Amino acid sequence: MTTPIDFDLDQHQVRRAFSRAAKGYDEAAVLQQEVCDRLGMRLDYIKFKPQKILDLGAGSGIASQMLMTRYKRARVYALDFAEPMLKLAASRGSWLNRPKAVCADALKLPLKDQSIDLVFSNLMLQWCHPLDNYFAEMRRVLGPGGLLLFSTFGPDTVKELREAWQAVDGRSHVHQFIDMHDIGDMLVGAGFTEPVVNMEMFTLTYSDIKTLLKDLKAIGATNAASSRTKGLTGKGTYRELEAAYEQFRNAENKLPLSYEVIYGTAWVSDAPQPSSLPAQHTILQKQ
C-alpha cells in the first residue's frame, strides 16, 4: 500500500467546506459534472435494472438527477453529510419524482444489510479515510448481484499546486490521494468481486492563480488533513505561491491544474463485468 500511514482527515473540516460551498457549487463544479456524465456512461454497457440506488456523497444532487432519469422506476437515496448540499439534492426532479434525502456519514450508513442494488459515488471517496472501512460499509448494504460504481481522485491531482507550495515553504498544503492499484486491493479486501479500475487525466486551465484558488474553494476542495497548517495565508506567502506557479503557464498563456480521475466498478456476486472505456486526457477551459 502506498497510502501514507500517518495521513488523517479532519471530517469536521470537510463538512464545513462543503456546507459553505453549497450555494455556488453547481456553477463551479464543471469537472464534477463532466466526470458524473462519464461515470454514468458506464451504465450503458451493463444490463442492469436496479430498484434501490444509493447516491453516496450526493452533494448538490447532480448524480441523483441523472440516476432518476436513467432508472425512472428506481428509488434513489441521496446521501450526504453536508446538510446545505443535501437540501439542493432534495429539490432535484419533479415533485412526484425526487430523491429521498439522507443526512448521514458514509462510514455509518443508516441502511439495512443487502438493501441496495447500486451504489453510485461521484468524486466523494477522496474524502474518506481509511477508505477500506468505507468500502466494507458499501459492501454491507449491497445485495446479491449489487454493483458499486464510483469515481475518485488519484495522486497526480492538483500536482502543479502541490509542487508550487513545496517551492514556497516545503509543505504540500494539498490533500493526499490514493493510488488506483491500492484502491483495487481494497475492493478485493472488502469482499467485492472482479473489480475494474482505470484512470483518466483532465486539465482545467485558468488565467491567474486567484481564479484557480477561488474555484477550488467554490467546490469545497480544501486541505482537510488533520496535520494541515491552520490560519490564513499572508500576502507575502500568497505572492510567493503566485510566482512559483508561473513556471506552469502554458503556450496559451493559461495556468493548468491537473486532475487524475479514477473510475471503479465492482460487483457483489459473479455478475458480468462492464466494458471499460478508453482512457483520455481532456482539457476544460476556465475563464
Q: Where are the domains of the chain?
A: 11-269+279-285
CA distance 82 to 20: 9
More confident position, 232 or 185 = 185
- What percent of the chain shows pLDDT beyond 70? 78
CA distance 250 to 237: 23
Instruction: Retrieve residue 152's grid coordinates.
Output: 475518485
Phi first, then psi, for residue 104 (nearest 5°) are: -160, 165
Amino acid 274: pLDDT: 45
Residue 5 has pLDDT above 90, yes or no: no
Amino acid 209: pLDDT: 96
Three-point CA angle 263, 13, 159, nearest 5°: 45
CA distance 202 to 205: 10
Mean pLDDT, residues 103-111: 95
Q: Residue 147 pairs with which residues in a beta bridge? A: 118, 267
Q: Please state whether 278 falls in left (phi above 0), alpha (psi between -120 and 50) or beta.
A: beta
244, 209 Cβ separation under 8 angstroms = no
243, 48 Cβ separation under 8 angstroms = no
CA distance 116 to 97: 19
126, 150 Cβ separation under 8 angstroms = no
More confident position, 93 or 110 = 110
CA distance 280 to 35: 12
Per-residue pLDDT of 187-225, as tens digits, reads 999 999 989 999 999 999 999 999 999 998 887 676 544
Confidence of residue 39 (pLDDT cuts 50, 70, 90): very high
User: Taking the CB of residue 252, how many other CB atoms lie within 10 A of it?
Assistant: 9
Per-residue pLDDT of 238-251, as tens digits, reads 999 999 999 999 99
Instruction: Retrieve residue 241's grid coordinates.
Output: 505561491
Q: Per this entry, what is the length of the chain?
A: 287
Name which of 169, 177, 161 is nearest 246 in CA terms: 161
Instruction: Retrieve residue 55's grid coordinates.
Output: 447516491
Amino acid at 269: S
Domain 11-269+279-285, what architecture? 3-Layer(aba) Sandwich (3.40)
Amino acid 85: pLDDT: 83
Our CA dihedral for 235, 229, 212, 201, rounded to 10 degrees, sits at 150
